[in-house]
Amino acid sequence: MSMLSALAHVEAMENMTAVCLTAFRHHRLSDRPMVIIPLTMAGEAGAPLAVMAGTTKRDMTLLVVPQPRNRDQRFAFAADLGRVVMDYINSYRQDRRGEGERSQYTNVPQIIVPNQGGINALADLGRMCRFRSTTGAHAVPEVVPEFGMWLTFLVDTAEMTGTSMLLPLTTMLTEHWATGQSTLEDQNLASLMAWISPPRGVSIAQALEEAENPDVCPPAGPSTSPEFDNRDLAPAIKRFDTAHALGDPHRLAMARTELSELIAGQVKPTWRLMWSAISILRSVPEAPQTTRRHDRDCQLFTSHSDYRDAGGLPQRKRDTAVSAARRLSKLERALSDFEAAMAFDDPFVLADRRSGGEAFAGPVVASQPHRTATTAKNTTVPRPWATIRTTDPLRLAAGTKLISPTMQKGHKAVVVSTIPDGDATLVTVEITAGMGRSRTPKPGSVPDPGQHVAYLPDPGWRPNPSFPDSDHTPWTHSATPDRPDTDSAVPENAAAEEWGHDN
């Protein structure tokens, strides 16, 4: 946590109100997002209990697994949810622009879950579904593996900073607001919304007290509260099991209805809270570079869609050493680009970076607009210098490439030197781009004395790292003849899951 972020949290605690951390919303909000609230059974890893899903506040679908340990019921639930989600995803697989390799879909789906735990629950569900066979003794409906592969794709893209196809709502809220509670407490959607938008006529302290009461504000999932499990859920599931064993249709229908009503009572408060939070987020202006990140989402969505149309295999259970390194490189690059874009777009974020020495700003005290340099090809090019006096703590070394949100588009520079000047620092930069094509820089492309400018590191373009082929990795990072390939795309005994209540 940076100094300004820490101060914002202290201010929120002292004033008992949320404090804005950014001037913009840096994630796109779709005009028609799908909200999904997954619930899982406590003590049963990857056993779904229920899901509420929908694209509007008044149009929701509640799906319940009466006995989460029953394999058939779990996959019937996955098929029902898969049809709902795939209809939504397929609605975005209609309009394309461009031709050939440049062709891509014009928009992408967006799924919003309450918190990071919701993404983990969808990851478990995708893993459970994507390897299933649609033929044989344990066949599942065709939509199940397709749904699992799309879920896994969305979960994988959610790890890439800046993407907006699968988002936890608490992350979007904490990116814009600081509260007076811990980071762990910020994962509680009810308490987070109590800081940001408490109910009318209710103080934040009272709203927080109600948010921590599971009877008033049930958890947003994926786990339900232990009190609810012991007091209500376990007896209801037991009554369903009894009715199922007796084969009494009337008692079975009553038990199903009871379970649905119980779980609906747990999910609906979160459902209403999520749509209220989405409405609040819409009131925050969207950052300028969000459009560029949306275009990257369209490319990812198009690529996976074409792969699925071509009959591509399910994602591996585990990455190989090379694919894991390649994936890590992409994630690091996405994080670097997103942080730079946030600081470029947002003066609040830029101030935060300045407080940590990762950016600087100040008045120009000297300028050499007509300076030139000779390149390796013996060509004379303009290379003006400008000296900025900044009181910011500075940790940028000479040679650091820079971009500036206060200069014209395309402006780039590089740090030449940093010289202490009392309590300040004199930073000399060389302008390298954004000056036009003539031998003299175009007006406004070089900072003038007295002008206030800001600079931050340029993530820039960099080539993709070169990785060895899988055949050339060390034996410690690959399968050998005496060790079976644990990275196979198809798990062992994929169809042999005779556990739970299969009767």
| Residue 497 pLDDT class (50, 70, 90 cuts) | very low
Mean of the per-residue pLDDT values of the chain: 89
On the question of pLDDT at 30 being above 90, the answer is yes
Residues 240-246, mean pLDDT to the nearest whole number = 89
pLDDT score recorded for residue 244? 87
Is the previous residue joined to 222 through a cis bond, with omega within 30 degrees of 0?
yes
Quote the percentage of the chain above a pLDDT of 90. Answer: 69
180/3: higher pLDDT? 180
pLDDT score recorded for residue 440? 87
Q: What is the signed CA dihedral for 211, 216, 222, 223, rounded to 10 degrees? A: 110
On the question of pLDDT at 498 being above 70, the answer is no
| Residue 475 pLDDT class (50, 70, 90 cuts) | low
User: Phi and psi (nearest 5°) for 101?
Assistant: -70, -20
Half-sphere exposure of residue 383, counting CA atoms within 13 Å on the CB side? 13
Residues 222-232, mean pLDDT to the nearest whole number = 89
Concatenate the DSSP letters of all residues of 172-221 into one string.
Answer: HHHHHEE-SS-TTGGG-HHHHHHHHSPPTT--HHHHHHHHT-TTTS---S
Structure tokens at 37: 């609230």
Please state the domain extents for the chain: 3-315, 343-457
On the question of pLDDT at 44 being above 60, the answer is yes
Residue with tokens 């990140």: 293
Which range, of 56-60, 432-436, 471-475, averages the lowest pLDDT? Answer: 471-475
Pick the CATH number of 343-457 from 2.60.40, 3.10.50, 1.10.287, 2.40.30: 2.40.30
Is the previous residue joined to 114 through a cis bond, with omega within 30 degrees of 0?
no
Stretch (H or E) spanning 413: strand 412-421
| Residue 347 pLDDT class (50, 70, 90 cuts) | very high
Cα–chain-centroid distance for residue 425? Answer: 38
Q: How far apart are the first and last CA of the chain?
A: 53
On the question of pLDDT at 407 being above 50, the answer is yes
Give per-residue pLDDT as tens, 450-468: 999 999 999 887 777 787 7
Residue with tokens 């049930």: 218
CB 266 within 8 A of CB 228: yes
